[in-house]
Amino acid sequence: MAIKNSNALFVATGLMLFALFFGAGNLVFPAHIGQLSGEHMWWTILGFVMTGAGLPLLGIAAMAYSGANDVEALAARVSPSFGLCFAIALYLAIGPLFATPRTATVSFEMGVVPFLSETISKEWALAIFSVVFFGVTYWLAMSPSKLLDRIGKLLTPALLISIAVLTVAAVVKPMGALQVAQGEYLSHPFIKGFLDGYQTMDALASLVFAIIVISSLQQAGVTQVKSLMKMTLGAGILASLCLAIVYAMVTYMGASSVQQIGLQENGAGVLAGVAAFYWGTAGNVLLLVIVLLACLSTAVGLIVACAEYFSRVFPRVSYRQFAILFTIISCVLANRGLSGIVSLSVPVLMLLYPLTVVIIFLAFLDKMFASQRIVYVLTMGVTLVMGILDGWKTAFGLPSTLEHFLNTYLPFYTVGMGWLIPALIAFGISFLISKMRQYD
């Protein structure tokens, strides 16, 4: 690879990818898990990291390994029309309809609201904040070739330093002893952590962010396919390692905080309490910096990814025009508030996430069944049906008879993974069919 400072490029790319993944939710979730898991936090975080950091790594690796140039090309192994529909739905879900607006609302709720007086209208404050937030997002997204420098070399180091200031104090001088675990964290800490990590749904973004990584490396001069795959996989490993370390530190911080601040309703309360305990009023400022950096880097990555994809699918509309459109949509939807966005997004994510996980694993197993379409069609088809059931259940509920049947006879249905066993059965049957065809 004829690239100067290849190690520096590798580190910058890995840090950029970490920042793209690491939104405020990735900070809030483990903080709350820490409080609930208490003395069982190490088993819990082990399970959480396996899916919360492991699945995104597999998504990055799948894109590098498969040779597909985007999500659509990978999903088109089912059929071209399915590939197009799946890619559009995925980009819209993690882009302007759900995930991108949420970056503004989360950063507002966690970083700005603590500073607002009671006389200030929260609705107007959110409107002004979202305009400024997405204005900066758009400005950064207008130079996608500079993402590596701006995020990997500037925003991410600042983010990691800020997180370190918050968490290292809690690790070096804990607020208190680890308490008794709560609920399922007491009886099944590893499994509960595993399911919690699965529900972060970062695997959705991994297929999209992998394309940003590959594009950034190509713009930096990495053109050989083998070198590109190696650097992409390496960046994924570094990003996942950073995620795992931060998850572990934040979880411990939450677990050791209960004696001082009590059990909080959510991770935002945990973070605010810990920041105030160690840093006083300055803790709110520190938390604001962390949340803004985390959410801004994620928002920029999502706008860039969506605008680049849609400008390829619809070439008559430029990248800039799509970036403007998606920024405006995200800004408008952000003003629905966090609860409104979450209530709309969950049913769609319950449909898309199983499909994403399955296509990732099929990409790795592709050579086992010689890329035969029957495996993709049958496995993804069954997963799609189960995903529709999960999404419909979340949005509208299912008939009581069907709900009782699924609860009773379908393993993992109650924890949102009812698709798993049907998908495995479909894969097994289609795999046998593919082998029989090979020998005919």
Per-residue model confidence as pLDDT tens for the chain (440 residues): 445 567 888 899 999 999 999 987 898 899 999 999 999 999 999 999 999 999 999 999 999 888 888 999 999 999 999 999 999 999 999 999 988 998 999 899 888 888 888 888 989 999 999 999 999 999 999 988 888 788 888 888 999 999 999 888 888 999 999 999 998 999 999 999 998 888 787 899 999 999 999 988 888 888 888 888 899 999 999 999 999 999 999 999 999 999 999 999 888 889 989 999 999 989 989 999 999 999 999 999 999 999 999 999 999 999 999 999 999 999 999 988 767 777 778 888 889 999 999 999 999 999 999 999 999 999 999 999 999 999 999 889 999 999 999 999 999 998 888 999 999 999 999 999 999 887 76
Q: Which of 304, 335, 366 is the last residue of a domain?
A: 335
| pLDDT for 220 | 86
Same domain, 292 and 328: yes
Radius of gyration of the chain (CA): 22
Alpha helices in 53-155, H assignment, sequence order: 54-66, 71-75, 80-94, 99-107, 122-141, 147
| Same domain, residue pair 289 and 315 | yes
Domain membership of residue 1 (yes or no) is no
353 CB-near residues (< 8 Å, 6+ apart): 201, 203, 204, 387
Q: Considering only CA atoms, which of 383, 70, 55, 47 is closest in space to residue 191?
A: 47
Q: Are residues 306 and 358 in the same domain?
A: no
The residue among 300, 299, 383, 396 whose CA lies nearest residue 347 is 396
pLDDT for the residue numbered 7: 82
Tell me how far apart the alpha carbons of residues 194 and 51 are, in angstroms, rounded to a whole number. 6
CATH number for the domain that contains residue 14: 1.10.4160.10
Question: Are residues 381 and 253 part of one domain?
Answer: no
Whether 387 is covered by a domain: the verdict is yes
Q: Are residues 352 and 311 in the same domain?
A: no
Q: How many CB atoms lie within 10 A of CB 288?
A: 18
Using alpha carbons, select from 287, 278, 327 the residue that is nearest to residue 112: 287
Check whether residue 384 and residue 319 sit in a common domain.
Answer: no
Do 287 and 423 fall into the same domain?
Answer: no
**Among 200, 279, 189, residue whose Cα is nearest residue 244:** 200
| Dihedral-angle region of residue 116 (phi above 0 means left; psi in -120 to 50 means alpha; beta otherwise) | beta
Closest CA to 19 of 205, 198, 272, 280: 205
Q: How many domains does one find in the chain?
A: 2
Asked whether residue 108 is assigned to any structural domain, the reply reads: yes
* The token pair that represents 204 in the structure block: 């959705």
Residue 91 and residue 239 in one domain:
yes
284 and 236 share one domain: yes
Tokens of 22: 């690491």
Residue after which a domain boundary falls, among 312, 335, 358: 335
Whether residue 234 is contained in a domain is answered as: yes
Angle ∠(362,209,360) on CA atoms, nearest 5: 10
- Domain extent for 440: 339-440
Assess contact for 16 and 216: CB atoms under 8 A: yes
310, 335, 360: which is the final residue of a domain? 335
Separation of alpha carbons 261 and 264, rounded Å: 8
CA distances from 321 to 16, 87, 174, 317 (A): 25, 20, 50, 6
Q: Which of 430, 257, 38 is nearest to 422 (CA)?
A: 430
Residues 6 or more apart whose CB falls under 8 angstroms from that of 185 comprise 33, 36, 37, 38, 40, 44, 192, 193
Are 330 and 395 found together in one domain? no
At a CB cut-off of 8 Å and minimum separation 6, what does 340 contact? none
Are residues 329 and 380 both part of a single domain?
A: no
Residue 338 is predicted with a pLDDT of 65
Give pLDDT, residue 23.
85
pLDDT of residue 351: 92
Q: Residue 400: count other Cβ atoms within 10 Å of its Cβ.
A: 8
Q: Are residues 302 and 369 in the same domain?
A: no
